[in-house]
Structure 1
């Protein structure tokens, strides 16, 4: 399956909040939908969920208008949406049957997912008596109980400790391996890098960057190097670079223990390496710069920072 979003526009009260959002995602791949608060991610998700319609633009699945009535969606909202005073099993059964499952089928699926999430011992407990981490695991079970082909996860790791995070990571990886179509929205860039093949970065209701994450990293790293010197922090290394190598490179980002260098003019990596070797400096590491997703995000969506 291939889900395509083309030229989405949405206005509220005369104010346009989406200005032509476009992206696509295929089964067996995960898309990271990224943006700062107010970028338009939630509005985009609500259009996908058909909570409301776009003013302009299309959402298609394999070239046909996308319909949540025909294709099941598993949606994990950022804010927990289950019933705190109902038992875990009671509400999972209700949600599974609400999504079209027969009672026996629903009971089997609920049992499977409670066991898979490691919360089967809480099956008869009211949700409000569970820890936040276990409530989130129940919420993910509710998202997946009806075996949806399309999964939308909005900040799924919010409030989880490392052990519970690992359970969720394993489950999400399993869903991707089962050829599900996954859209993953989070401010935690390390998780996005771990799961997502493709990314979309939104800013002020516009798509400012989209595509294959590996290709984007290669593009952003082109012409840049990374240097760290033994016993020197990033600021000290920057000062040395400016003083001794300004004809070859310019500092293009300071980190705690290293600096990113941008080669000037026709400079090559070999020339920089030779200059460092002849300088007598104690080089700890030197090589091509491979930006993190966080670095890329700040560069493309950090205009107000």
Structure 2
């Protein structure tokens, strides 16, 4: 769907993107991650043809990115761009027609989305009369109303309460099931875990990590386990594992251990069941939040 090749973007003395290459598969939900100032927004602006790269190329469905692709992209910017004094229905019609829709088709699609979002009564309201979360709903409709092939969402949950965040999450997944490719930029790592198939992590203008979420999580596994048991170990000194944490909760004792390379989880379990009653034994898989922090903390 989208092939980003060796993109460089320089602003005066600041290099925002330094030889960044990313592949976004058609039909995927792709997470574009990174701390503030990493270069994510600069890359999104290039994909949307708001600015151009100093060098490198972007390809959309095998074609070099060009103005004809604008109508096939929906973009929800982090900094919202609605006209505060304009009636919402009129504004949605205007934005939809900018994407190439006829007034008749736009009206039909807007009414469909307003009903879906339960905002049918907002047609004559003005943006300035809405809360931030309500404005977000309107902006989301403006992003998807023309049924784009590629949808770029920059911090889409900003301003939403948990209920409406879930509503938008469900709509994102439904659009993806219907064939839309989603690029999803966020600081909420729990949303990445829930939504994304693949990610790229940008830090200090460079791509430092990319791949499928499940493969990245497997890559960062550290042979660490959490064990819940009844009884007392005769000794916590053991060559099989290093104890990272030790707690107690009601009748259960808990250990978090890192198993040494030459031993397996089964070896540890065989040792433990000779000493105590093992009730829980589970691998500690790193979260995307753990992986994010590990890669950008320096």
Relative to the length of structure 1, the TM-score reads 0.87
Distance between the aligned counterparts of 2:56 and 2:228, measured in 1? 51
| Aligned partners of 1:93 and 1:106 also within 8 Å | yes
**Stretch moving more, 103-112 or 136-145:** 103-112
1:169-184 matches, cutoff 5 A: 169-184=169-184
1:237 maps to which residue?
none
2:7 maps to which residue?
8
Q: 2:236 aligns with which of 244, 263, 273?
A: 244
Distance between the aligned counterparts of 2:29 and 2:223, measured in 1? 28
Shift of 1:68: 4.1
Shift of 1:251: 5.2
Q: 1:278 aligns with which of 268, 274, 281?
A: 274
Structure 1 residues 272, 148: CA separation in 2 closer, same or farther (over 3 Å shift)? Answer: same
Structure 1 residues 252, 39: CA separation in 2 closer, same or farther (over 3 Å shift)? Answer: farther
Q: Alpha-carbon deviations, 1:262-285, whole Å to 9, x = none?
A: 3223111112212332343x6553
Distance between the aligned counterparts of 2:244 and 2:43, measured in 1? 34
| Aligned partners of 1:152 and 1:183 also within 8 Å | yes
Aligned-pair Cα RMSD in Å: 2.4
Relative to the length of structure 2, the TM-score reads 0.89
Q: Does 1:264 align with 2:260?
A: yes
Structure 1 residues 269, 9: CA separation in 2 closer, same or farther (over 3 Å shift)? Answer: same
**Stretch moving more, 143-152 or 65-74:** 65-74
2:104 maps to which residue?
104
Shift of 1:132: 2.0
| Aligned partners of 2:223 and 2:283 also within 8 Å | yes
| Aligned partners of 2:31 and 2:183 also within 8 Å | yes
Distance between the aligned counterparts of 2:206 and 2:243, measured in 1? 30
Shift of 1:245: 4.5
Shift of 1:138: 0.5
Give the unaligned 5+ runs of structure 1: 232-239
Q: Which runs of 4+ in 1 moved over 6 A?
A: 252-259
Distance between the aligned counterparts of 1:265 and 1:8, measured in 2? 40
| Aligned partners of 2:60 and 2:69 also within 8 Å | no
1:301 maps to which residue?
296
Structure 1 residues 63, 184: CA separation in 2 closer, same or farther (over 3 Å shift)? Answer: same
1:126 maps to which residue?
126
Shift of 1:302: 2.3
Give the unaligned 5+ runs of structure 2: none
